[in-house]
């Protein structure tokens, strides 16, 4: 009998037909893994605000598309050519899925800045060959297969099975919990890397983090790992401050409706402003706050993604005069193949408490409720669990 992992399979997936409509759970057909692809059985997927940006139409994306870009999975089968090129991948092994799949050939990849790869299949939401591996079942019209369904960032983790490009599947050390491996796929890498790689937070320095979702709390974890002396956590939701303290923040501050008041409170707490301030929401008001609160020589790190077209402003004179800096940080300046196993090892050593970010566990049908909670600022990470089998 043919290996079922190498044949066309029915999967359950959360599909967004077009921006602005609810995610619907559908049965799709998944093709056998093609050359350079890996068939995986999803273990866990996190619901990230970037999925919500797409769901709400703040970022225009082609549809229909299986959403989800944070996940971990077990390898079920390797397509042609994968075993030789990716010797670390073995059937049954747990992998964290990277939403940035380096092409390996562009200027950024050759320059060691793989997080900014410009030719990645992540941006076409298709396999590296250009095909979509999932499609709707054939209708009654006698056609061989239904219409193609894309997969977000070419990994579409809101599905019980997927084909992913081999370079997206990063093996993690034995013993790494599947949920933690999923979070390493996006929020942990984005936040911990923003602090330790993009900003290179100095030991003994002061840090402020505005916005305490999965990404912001990971900035807190990264700043603590880097040995920051003071970490001020800011959110409009009080419960988030307690969580931040549990992962390393030294102070918490509620952001009220008046940014001038928040600014004064931050300056008060940090002896005139933090050495490094992370903005992990993606709102004009908090981006401007992160820039305004800097002392001489301070650095604002913009981590939150805004809707396309949004602008923010600042006064240039103090920047030049006081040697201030603004850095953009995408995916925590990650090289996923090197950084994912490192973050997993730090977790296993008890130094990266990613499990604290998990505030609910849901099935695929719970995704819309998780989005609604995220809009209200409730909870941190909802983890989609998949049944084994
Ligand atoms: N002031 C302070 N905190 C705020 C404000 C505000 N005006 N508005 C929202 N927040 C808080 C929310 O209460 C929440 O705790 O910001 C946090 C945002 O967290 P999530 O919605 O869980 O988002 P997350 O998944 O962490 O992503 C944050 O990073 O990668 C990007 O696209 C992503 O832009 C998003 C950002
Ligand atoms: Zn994400
Ligand atoms: Zn590249």
Q: Tens digits of per-residue pLDDT, 302-328?
A: 999 998 899 999 999 999 999 999 999
Q: Is residue 305 part of a domain?
A: yes
Instruction: Select from 302, 289, 298, 293 the least CA-distant residue to 323.
Output: 298
Q: Is residue 293 part of a domain?
A: yes
Q: Is residue 91 part of a domain?
A: no
Instruction: Select from 49, 43, 56, 46 the least CA-distant residue to 16.
Output: 56
How far apart are the CA of 163 and the centre of ligand 1, in A?
Answer: 30
**Domains in the chain, number:** 1
How large is the average pLDDT for residues 210-224?
Answer: 98
Q: Is residue 210 part of a domain?
A: yes
How far apart are the CA of 70 and the centre of ligand 2, in A?
Answer: 6
In Å, what is the CA distance from 279 to each residue of 48, 244, 341? 16, 15, 26
Is residue 10 very low, low, confident or very high in pLDDT (cuts 50, 70, 90)?
A: very high
Is the C-beta atom of 306 inside 6 A of ligand 1?
A: no
User: Which pLDDT belongs to residue 59?
Assistant: 87
Is the C-beta atom of 49 inside 6 A of ligand 1?
A: yes
Of ligand 1's listed atoms, the one at least distance from the Cα of 52 is 32
Is residue 1 very low, low, confident or very high in pLDDT (cuts 50, 70, 90)?
A: very low
How far apart are the CA of 110 and the centre of ligand 1, in A?
Answer: 33
Is the C-beta atom of 190 inside 6 A of ligand 1?
A: yes
How large is the average pLDDT for residues 260-282?
Answer: 97
Q: Is residue 250 part of a domain?
A: yes
Is residue 2 very low, low, confident or very high in pLDDT (cuts 50, 70, 90)?
A: low
Is the C-beta atom of 216 inside 6 A of ligand 1?
A: yes
Q: Is the pLDDT of residue 180 over 80?
A: yes
Q: Is residue 241 part of a domain?
A: yes
User: Domain with 219 in it: what CATH number?
Assistant: 3.40.50.720
Q: Is residue 262 part of a domain?
A: yes
Is the C-beta atom of 237 inside 6 A of ligand 1?
A: yes
How far apart are the CA of 48 and the centre of ligand 2, in A?
Answer: 5
Share of the chain above pLDDT 70, in %: 98
Is the C-beta atom of 374 inside 6 A of ligand 1?
A: yes
Is the C-beta atom of 213 inside 6 A of ligand 1?
A: yes
- Per the DSSP assignment, residues forming a β-bridge with 210 are 234, 279
In Å, what is the CA distance from 314 to each residue of 232, 300, 324? 22, 12, 12
How large is the average pLDDT for residues 213-230?
Answer: 98
Strands 9-16 and 169-171 come out as unpaired
And the tokens for 311? Answer: 């602008």
Task: Provide the 8-state DSSP code for 201.
Answer: P
Q: Is the pLDDT of residue 4 over 80?
A: no
Phi, psi of 32 (to 5 degrees): -60, 150
Instruction: Select from 228, 156, 146 the least CA-distant residue to 195.
Output: 228
How far apart are the CA of 85 and the centre of ligand 1, in A?
Answer: 38
Range of the domain at 288: 197-332
How far apart are the CA of 107 and the centre of ligand 3, in A?
Answer: 7
Of ligand 1's listed atoms, the one at least distance from the Cα of 375 is 21
**Cβ contact 377:236 at 8 Å:** yes
Is residue 290 very low, low, confident or very high in pLDDT (cuts 50, 70, 90)?
A: very high
User: Which amino acid residue places its CA nearest to atom 29 of ligand 1?
Assistant: 304
How far apart are the CA of 375 and the centre of ligand 1, in A?
Answer: 9
How far apart are the CA of 177 and the centre of ligand 1, in A?
Answer: 25
Q: Is the pLDDT of residue 141 over 80?
A: no
CA pair distance 357, 183, nearest whole angstrom:
9
Is the C-beta atom of 53 inside 6 A of ligand 1?
A: yes
Instruction: Give the ligand whose atoms come closest to the C-alpha of residue 107.
Output: 3
User: Which amino acid residue places its CA nearest to atom 28 of ligand 1?
Assistant: 281
How far apart are the CA of 212 and the centre of ligand 1, in A?
Answer: 6
Is the C-beta atom of 220 inside 6 A of ligand 1?
A: no
Instruction: Select from 26, 36, 133, 125 the least CA-distant residue to 77.
Output: 36
To test the ligand 1 pocket, which listed residue (58, 191, 210, 213) has its Cβ within 8 A of the most ligand atoms?
213
CA pair distance 98, 344, nearest whole angstrom:
14
Q: What is the enclosing helix (H) or strand (E) of 161? A: strand 161-165
Q: Is residue 234 part of a domain?
A: yes
pLDDT (tens digit, 9 = 90+) per residue, 14-39?
999 999 999 999 999 999 999 999 99
User: Which amino acid residue places its CA nearest to atom 20 of ligand 1?
Assistant: 213
And the tokens for 47? Answer: 């619901």
């Amino acid at each position: 009998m043919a290996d079922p992992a190498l044949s066309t399979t029915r999967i359950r997936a959360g599909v967004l037909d077009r921006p602005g409509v609810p995610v619907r759970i559908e049965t799709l057909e998944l093709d056998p893994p093609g050359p350079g692809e890996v068939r995986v059985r999803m273990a866990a997927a996190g619901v990230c605000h970037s999925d919500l940006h797409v769901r709400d139409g703040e970022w225009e994306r082609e549809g229909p598309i299986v959403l989800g870009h944070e996940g971990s999975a077990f390898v079920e089968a390797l397509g042609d050519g994968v075993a030789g090129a990716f010797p670390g991948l073995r059937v049954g092994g747990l992998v964290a899925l990277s939403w940035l799949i380096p092409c390996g050939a562009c200027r950024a990849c050759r320059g060691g800045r793989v997080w900014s790869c410009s030719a990645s299949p992540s941006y076409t939401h298709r396999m590296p060959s250009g095909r979509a591996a999932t499609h709707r079942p054939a209708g009654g019209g006698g056609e061989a297969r239904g219409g193609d369904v894309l997969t977000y960032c070419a990994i579409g983790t809101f599905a019980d099975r997927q084909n992913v490009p081999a370079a997206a599947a990063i093996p993690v050390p034995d013993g790494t919990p599947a949920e933690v491996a999923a979070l390493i796929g996006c929020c942990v890498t984005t936040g911990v890397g923003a602090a330790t790689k993009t900003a290179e937070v100095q030991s003994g320095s002061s840090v402020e983090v505005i916005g305490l979702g999965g990404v912001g709390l990971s900035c807190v974890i990264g700043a603590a790992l880097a040995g920051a002396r003071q970490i001020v956590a800011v959110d409009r939701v009080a419960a988030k401050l307690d969580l931040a303290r549990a992962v390393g923040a030294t102070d918490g501050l509620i952001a009220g409706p008046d940014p001038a008041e928040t600014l004064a409170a931050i300056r008060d707490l940090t002896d005139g402003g933090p050495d490094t301030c992370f903005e992990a929401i993606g709102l004009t008001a908090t981006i401007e706050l992160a820039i305004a609160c800097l002392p001489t020589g301070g650095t604002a790190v913009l981590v939150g993604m805004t809707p396309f077209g949004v602008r923010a402003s600042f006064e240039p004179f103090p920047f030049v005069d006081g040697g201030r800096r603004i850095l953009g940080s995408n995916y925590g300046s990650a090289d996923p193949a090197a950084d994912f196993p490192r973050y997993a090892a730090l977790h296993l050593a008890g130094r990266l408490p990613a499990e604290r970010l998990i505030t609910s566990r849901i099935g695929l049908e719970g995704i819309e409720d998780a989005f609604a909670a995220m809009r209200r600022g409730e909870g941190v990470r909802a983890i989609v669990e998949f049944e084994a089998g």
